[in-house]
């Protein structure tokens, strides 16, 4: 039994006329009659009572009609669901993100993505950049919002934010009096930084930045998240260098100051496996480009 047999049967059952059903199906009437006969032979009972003037469903034919319609509806629904999945309009997208992406970039992207693809289930995982790279490699997430730079040649990256690095320090600190702090004046300060293991290439970038100012930072505390850094600075444990967007963290007792000279820049990117070809991923990347037009 094939799907065409069910379609042919339903057409005849609804028309109760082989000629009209054949015209509706755009096939020859003898061919339609032959297909219905084959179906009846396979089932082992007649579906129609035929006379020269009328065609009627048998009791078994009436029962079979309800079931045939349900099968055809389910097949059509399966086809439409598969088509939506093929277009990336349905399915499940797991996104990893660093905490600093929640200040502006991630909410903007999610809002636009949900508007465009309301049938896609989005699952969010707050992870450090290091954790996201591992999750991408293991297939635990499909998209990551990470802090650059990274060293992972198997990952593709689309930059979604560029911003200056600033100094965050206790509001009563002597250097808070500066509008722009000379980097060399930070040489004797205790630092709170994201850990090397969790910060990945970004940690190395900050180390090089400090070396450019002529010192190696005295790191007295390592943490995993930006909000923890701000909290530690507010507690006067040390100072830190953070992306400008970190000032969106509402915390009393800290101030943010630009660094003197050409502002160092940090980047945030959307990352995905280079060998991934999912339409869900491509649709999210398209939304990410639209949400950050100045970078593309």
Predicted confidence (pLDDT) per residue in 42-69, tens digit: 999 999 998 888 899 999 999 999 999 9
d(CA 283, CA 292): 14
What is the rounded distance in angstroms from the CA atom of residue 211 to the CA atom of residue 209? 5
Dihedral sign (CA 43, 46, 52, 57): negative
Write out pLDDT tens, residues 236-294: 999 999 999 998 887 889 999 999 999 899 999 999 999 998 999 999 999 999 998 87
Percent of the chain's residues with pLDDT above 90 = 74
What pLDDT digit, counting tens, does each position of 104-145 carry? 899 999 999 999 999 999 999 999 998 999 999 999 999 999
Residue among 197, 219, 54 nearest 127 (CA):
197
Q: How large is the average pLDDT for residues 149-175?
A: 94
Work out the pLDDT band at 177, boundaries 50, 70, 90.
very high
Beta bridge partners of 269: 146, 159
Whether the pLDDT of residue 13 is over 80: the answer is yes
């Amino acid at each position: 039994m094939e799907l065409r047999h069910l379609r042919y049967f339903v057409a005849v059952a609804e028309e109760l006329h082989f000629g009209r059903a054949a015209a509706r199906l755009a096939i020859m009437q003898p061919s339609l009659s032959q297909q219905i006969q084959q179906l009846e032979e396979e089932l082992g009972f007649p579906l129609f009572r035929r006379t020269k003037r009328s065609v009627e469903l048998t009791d078994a034919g009436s029962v079979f009609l309800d079931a045939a319609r349900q099968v055809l509806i389910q097949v059509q629904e399966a086809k439409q669901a598969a088509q939506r999945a093929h277009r990336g309009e349905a399915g499940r997208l797991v996104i990893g993100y660093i905490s600093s992406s929640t200040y502006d970039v991630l909410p903007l992207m999610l809002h636009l993505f949900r508007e465009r693809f309301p049938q896609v289930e989005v699952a969010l995982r707050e992870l450090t950049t290091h954790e996201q790279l591992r999750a991408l490699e293991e297939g635990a997430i499909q998209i990551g919002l990470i802090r650059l730079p990274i060293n992972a040649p198997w990952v593709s990256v689309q930059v979604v934010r560029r911003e200056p690095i600033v100094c965050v320090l206790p509001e009563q600190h002597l250097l808070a009096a500066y509008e722009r702090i000379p980097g060399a004046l930070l040489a004797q300060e205790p630092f709170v930084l994201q850990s090397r293991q969790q910060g990945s290439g970004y940690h190395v970038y900050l180390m090089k930045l400090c070396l450019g100012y002529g010192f190696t930072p005295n790191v007295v505390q390592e943490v995993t998240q930006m909000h923890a850094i701000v909290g530690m600075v507010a507690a006067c444990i040390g100072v830190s260098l953070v992306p400008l967007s970190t000032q969106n963290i509402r915390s009393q007792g800290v101030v943010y100051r630009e660094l003197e000279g050409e502002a160092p820049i940090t980047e945030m990117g959307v990352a995905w496996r280079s060998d991934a070809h999912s339409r869900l991923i491509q649709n999210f990347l398209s939304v990410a480009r639209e949400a950050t037009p100045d970078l593309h």
